[in-house]
Chain A
């Protein structure tokens, strides 16, 4: 049975398998007393049947000829799964008592997320030492294909080839970690600084200040963020059109301010809950200064929910910056950045059907886009686990 057989045939097989499992399971379950088989619903049987057929199809595609991308995807998923598991086991057996305990309550996805975030951080910080060439260095051979094989239009000096104007793609991918992730991180920090200080201020002082700030935030939040950012970026480019550095700086400010509205909402709500507590009242009656109240009374107690929010906001900021850069209005050249790289390299996708070098060439834009996706997925895995732990959801 080949996977090329028609869709109808396979659907019929799925339904037949499900029915066989349902009725057969009843008979066997009644006879042997296995409740799981006896009480299986039709939809459940359909699910198992579908799972088996999908696994068979996947396996025959994997072991068959061609389908390079499918094989890579399978290797990727299995590889990440194993890496995450190994890291989780490592964390459970090595380290202090506290970290061991932490790793014991952690699912594989969260362990993988932490490992990936650490890797990104290391690559971003040591990009100057890891990258073989500079990010703006231009070589005389432009458009070298990846693979490093001179017979296939590549060069052993440039493992992933060079781009349209002859810059080493591998180096630019590595520097992208520094620029894209670094800029997103700085922007999120700035957004948190603005949002938290105003939010706690509004919670502590209240009254007219709270009303004014809250109404301004409501208004800013009623315009879709990416749209508003694009409008403000138009103005920024009109002011500093020729100075690329200023445009990047302005983008950081714009996104930080737009994103601080969400942080403001949360930190104000968290602050409001703390302000009504007795220990805060006592500190106020002692005659403590406003800065003491905010930094020593509210901040330590608001740390946990704000940390999870930091992860989520970082993802949003990172994706917004990547989208802006992809649209050509974000981080400006010559800084290497993943969003811009995806746009510049996107036409290579059409090379996919070519033999030998095709798949690797076609995956160049996907590497840059995948680098963005992988980091946000990693952060989301960790945040998902933190929120789950904080909410105390068990079952």
Chain B
């Protein structure tokens, strides 16, 4: 047991180190920008006094390593700084009066909840579906069902998200108005309304993610079918369904859990395009909008949020696969 704790501890430590390095990369990348924050905020025509006042107020006159640690400490307390677009610097017209800041955290928090909701709905559809199709494809491998599943999943893996999204809009919103094509959810809606509006983006992501998970489930199970203990079960005269569900599946669980976690991590990036297509108010859309208007603090924060989610899901995948390996969990 000690052994496992040590491996997991090492892995977690490595994760924290990665997160730290990533935060340095993001911080440095943003600092490579020409000009600085204060100048960008006020524009070309600002007086030097006003620029200096904001620089002092935001701590931009300090050296870069001090600024980095200030930023990092802020981020730890969910303080991502001030958004360019939402900042109100009218009070800086010469005198440094109290300014009304629109903070990045205020913008991201509600959208992050929306993105999590979308990811949760997607996972709730995609995970059972892909397990079911994967098990069936392994059960009837090399049959017509398996071939159709293979070709259609290969097609949906290779299609860009927006192609799948627009085909779904065409079929389910324009020709047969089942779901709305605009997913403009807001806080006032109850759960069923939200779910109905979220359905099309969730279905799009499901199609993209299911394909990969299903293929890996099938491969993991088929991989095991050649092993002697499955041969034994077959010789005992068990039905193919029983062999796969009760004998092969528990041992294939480790790679499958790994793939599910990795695909959830993939959802994090896939969500960007899908949110833009459906105008879904999530972090992805905020990210793209901020990239377009070069709202650096928001870009920085979104990038960090996405990277953190990605790293922790990858970490989760690693820890789960360590935990589900009986040879590591139960040392002799």
A residues sitting closer than 8 Å to B (CB atoms) are 41, 43-44, 47, 51, 69, 109, 218-219, 222-228, 230-235, 237-239, 315, 319, 322-323, 326-329, 339, 342, 346, 349-350, 352-353, 362, 365-366, 369-370, 372-373, 376-377, 379-381, 384, 395
| B→A interface (CB under 8 Å) | 18, 21-22, 25-26, 29-30, 32-34, 136, 139-140, 142, 144-145, 151, 154-155, 157-163, 166-167, 169-171, 174-175, 239-241, 265, 268-269, 272-273, 276-277, 287-288, 291-292, 294, 296, 299-300, 302-303, 306-307, 310-311, 314
Q: How distant is the Cα of A234 from the Cα of B76 in the complex, in angstroms? A: 24
Residues A362 and B241 in contact, CB atoms below 8 Å apart: no
Q: Are A315 and B158 in contact (CB under 8 A)?
A: yes
Does A380 lie within 8 Å of B158, measured CB to CB? yes
A86 to nearest B CB, angstroms? Answer: 18
In angstroms, Cα B29 to Cα A232, docked, is: 7
Taking a contact as CB atoms under 8 Å apart, the answer to whether A231 and B26 are in contact is yes
Partner of B241, one of A43, A51, A315, A352: A43
The answer to whether A234 touches B296 (Cβ under 8 A) is yes
Contacting pair A327 B158 (CB below 8 A): no
Using A219-B21, A225-B269 as known contacts, say yes or no to A377 and B158 having CB atoms under 8 A apart: yes
Give 26 pairs: A residue, B residue, CB < 8 Å, sorted on A.
A41-B239, A44-B140, A47-B145, A219-B22, A223-B307, A225-B269, A226-B269, A227-B287, A227-B303, A227-B307, A230-B272, A230-B288, A232-B29, A235-B32, A238-B294, A327-B288, A328-B292, A362-B170, A369-B159, A369-B162, A369-B163, A372-B160, A372-B163, A373-B159, A377-B155, A384-B154
Contacts of B272 in A (CB 8 A): 226-227, 230, 323, 327
Residues of chain B with a CB closer than 8 A to A352's CB: 170, 174-175
Shortest C-beta distance, B136 to chain A (Å), equals 8
Q: What chain A residues lie within 8 Å of B276 (beta carbons)?
A: 326-327
Q: 4 closest Cβ contacts across the A-B interface?
A: A369-B163, A376-B158, A373-B159, A224-B269
Is A395 within 8 A of B273, CB to CB? no
- Given the known interface contacts A41-B240, A349-B166, A370-B163, the answer about A239 and B34 at a Cβ–Cβ threshold of 8 Å is yes
Determine how close the nearest CB of chain B comes to the CB of A75; give it in whole angstroms: 16
Residue in contact with A322 in the complex, picked from B33, B160, B175, CB distance below 8 Å: B160
B34: chain A residues at CB < 8 Å are: 238-239
**Distance from B55 Cβ to chain A, minimum over Cβ atoms (Å):** 19
Residues of chain B within 8 A of A365, CB atoms compared? 166
Given A323-B273, A366-B170, residue A224 in contact with residue B307 (CB < 8 A):
yes
B146 vs chain A, min Cβ distance (A): 11
Q: In whole angstroms, what is the CA distance A226 to B299 when docked?
A: 13
Residues of A within 8 A of B151 (CB): 109
- Determine the chain A residues whose CB is within 8 A of the CB of B144 once the complex forms: 51
- Of all chain B residues, which has the CB nearest A67? B175
For A342, the chain B residues whose CB sits under 8 A away are 162-163, 166
A224 touches B159 (CB 8 A): no
Complex Cα gap A372–B277 (Å): 17
Query: Contacts A41-B240, A362-B174 known; A222 to B162 CB distance under 8 Å?
Result: no
Is B160 a contact of A234 with CB atoms below 8 Å?
no
Q: Determine whether the beta carbon of B163 is less than 8 Å from that of A366.
A: yes
B142 x A238 contact (CB < 8 A) = no
**Beta-carbon contact of B241 and A222 below 8 Å:** no
Q: Which residues of chain A are near B157, meaning CB under 8 Å? A: 380
Do the beta carbons of B303 and A231 come within 8 Å of each other?
yes
A377 touches B159 (CB 8 A): yes
Q: How far is the CB of A235 from chain B (nearest CB, A)?
A: 6
Determine how close the nearest CB of chain B comes to the CB of A113; give it in whole angstroms: 10
Contacts of A222 in B (CB 8 A): 18, 21-22, 307, 310-311, 314
Contact (Cβ within 8 A) A69 B175:
yes
Q: How near does chain B come to A362, taking the closest CB pair, in angstroms?
A: 6
Given contacts A237-B294, A238-B294, A323-B272, 15 further A-B contacts (CB under 8 A): A41-B240, A47-B145, A219-B22, A224-B265, A227-B307, A230-B299, A235-B29, A235-B30, A239-B33, A326-B160, A326-B276, A349-B174, A377-B158, A377-B159, A380-B158
Residues of A within 8 A of B22 (CB): 219, 222-223
Docked pose: A366 CA to B310 CA in angstroms = 31
CB-CB nearest in chain A for B276? A327
Q: How far is the CA of A231 from the CA of B33 in the complex (A)?
A: 11
Most chain A CB neighbours (cut-off 10 Å) among B29, B163, B169, B311? B163
Query: Is A327 in contact with B273, judged by CB distance below 8 angstroms?
Result: yes
Q: Which residues of B contact A349 (CB under 8 A)?
A: 166, 169-170, 174
A365 to B277, CA, bound (A): 13
Q: Which residues of B contact A319 (CB under 8 A)?
A: 160
**From B21, which residue of chain A is reached at the shortest CB distance?**
A219
Minimum CB–CB distance from B268 to chain A (whole Å) comes to 6
Interface centre among A234, A326, A379 (most CB of B within 10 A): A234
Please report the C-alpha to C-alpha distance between residue A67 and residue B191 in the assembled complex, in whole angstroms: 33
Q: Which residues of B contact A339 (CB under 8 A)?
A: 160
Most buried by A among B139, B291, B311: B291
CB distance from A173 to the nearest CB of B (A): 15
Residues of A within 8 A of B155 (CB): 373, 377
A353 to B25, CA, bound (A): 49
Whether the Cβ atoms of A234 and B299 lie closer than 8 Å is yes
Are B174 and A350 interface neighbours, CB within 8 A?
yes
Chain A residue numbers with a CB within 8 Å of B169 are 349
Q: Is the CB of A395 within 8 A of B170?
A: no
